[in-house]
Amino acid sequence: MGKKTSSTQLAVIGGGPGGYAAAFSAADLGLDVTLIDLEANPGGTCLFRGCIPSKALLHAARILTEAKEAEHWGITFPEPKIDIARLRAATEGVVAKMTGGLGQLCKARKIRLVQGRASFRDSTDVSINHLDGSIETLAFENAIIATGSRPAMLPKLMLESPRVMNSTDALKLDDVPETMLVIGGGYIGLELTTVYAALGTKVTVVELAPNLLPGADADLVKPVAKRMEEMCEAVYLESSVDGLEEVKNGIQATLKGKKIKDSKQTFDKVLMCVGRKPNSSGIRLDCTKVETDEQGFIVVDDQMRTADPGIFAIGDVAGEPMLAHKATHEGHVAAEVIAGHPVAFNAQAIPAVVFTDPEVAWVGLTQTETKAQGLNVNVATFPWGASGRATTLNRNDGLTKIITDAETERILGVGITGTNAGDLIAEAALAIEMGATAQDLHLTIHPHPTLSETIMEAAEMIYGKSTHIYKPKRKKK
């Protein structure tokens, strides 16, 4: 195929939540932008193979769960029938609608969207291998690397078999296996466990750490752990998978752990969820001055600029936390810096959400982190058993926790476990960004009856009082 040469002010490599946000922001600021991605429309891993399809499937799982729980209210349904093909099609429809909309936004902003794979020739040019086989050399004034990440795999468990899946494979929902082993009790593993267990799969979860969701505070994880014990065939903590072997009727796993009685167990499918790796290889960074760390993350400053002045990096490839909303914010920062604005990435709090049932969300410092840093803090927890709205939902299994600086009363961190925790945590993120105190939340009138009131009442608990919880004062001796 032939070669051609073109130029642009800004080349964005990768069309995920960071890449397309950066491209859109830069175009709005008047720059000539070229967005390069393997897909026909923007979206990246999040929209095509991650956040969006998983949340669509989690919604379906929640419908199934609510149908079963409706009996509590005296409402019964016939046994739900699951049409996997229609469920898969509905999920794909959500993805197509959202990515198609992003494609239209590219056209509206006059962004050139190129479908192909880009690699650097030097600090001012990239080579693009188009899907039709043609090759293009694109000269740029600035470039933003937004190539994201991919599922990590454990080398000792690598097995070439369709029965061994990563998160991308699992979201395709080719079938609903009778049994499945999930290796990893982090947020991806537990979200997919929630989906498959609701669809009828007998799931066994193996996690190396002492608790599920390592990194989150234990009290926030407890309600989720209890729910997982109920929905799963087994949950093994402080355990490992030492080997996988394909046998006639599935995958035989060698399990190791104190509570594991049968070390050899066979499953129809195995899902490996042991983290993600940055996509920093394969784009010829060696042709530039861009530097990476030991984990493969691209090193950037607070303006998202790499060691090569004209090249920026954002999102998963630029470091933890690997979250779509963090990538979007970094994309805006990089675009504004390139446009000449004096900005920097200086977020005080980046919220994290696990869309299990119940959901878990936290922002700012965790209680574990405050202990490790030796901070003097006050911690208050409001149990959802005292929430009117949670009671009307028959979901009293949640809690809301607030951590404040003991001297200034400024909010340092908030954690929420319960229905819609992911939506509720945004108020806490704003409070931390604004430097709010527990008194600010306590004095803010929250609508009743809502789950958001639990934030207000947790703030009241910092001062030892709450409308719906009574703690008698200790008598002086």
Residues serving a catalytic function are 448
Q: Distance between CA 233 and CA 202 in Å, rounded?
A: 5
CA–CA separation, 260 and 254 (whole Å): 10
The Cβ-side half-sphere exposure at 164, using a 13 Å CA radius, reads 19
Rounded CA gap, 323 and 332, in Å?
A: 15
| 3-state secondary structure string across 117-183 | EEEECCCCEEEEEECCCCEEEEEEEEEEECCCEEECCCHHHCCCCCCEECHHHHHCCCCCCCEEEEE
Is 32 buried (19+), middle (13-18) or exposed (0-12) by CB count in 10 A?
middle
> Which residue is it, tokens 């072997």?
245
Q: For tokens 């954002």, what's the residue?
A: 314
Taking the C-alpha atoms of residue 25 and residue 235, their distance in angstroms, rounded to an integer, is 44
- Nearest partner of 42 among 16, 18, 11, judged by Cα: 16
Note the Cα 403 to chain centre separation in Å.
23
C-alpha pair distances (Å), 400 with each of 194, 220, 371, 375: 22, 8, 19, 21
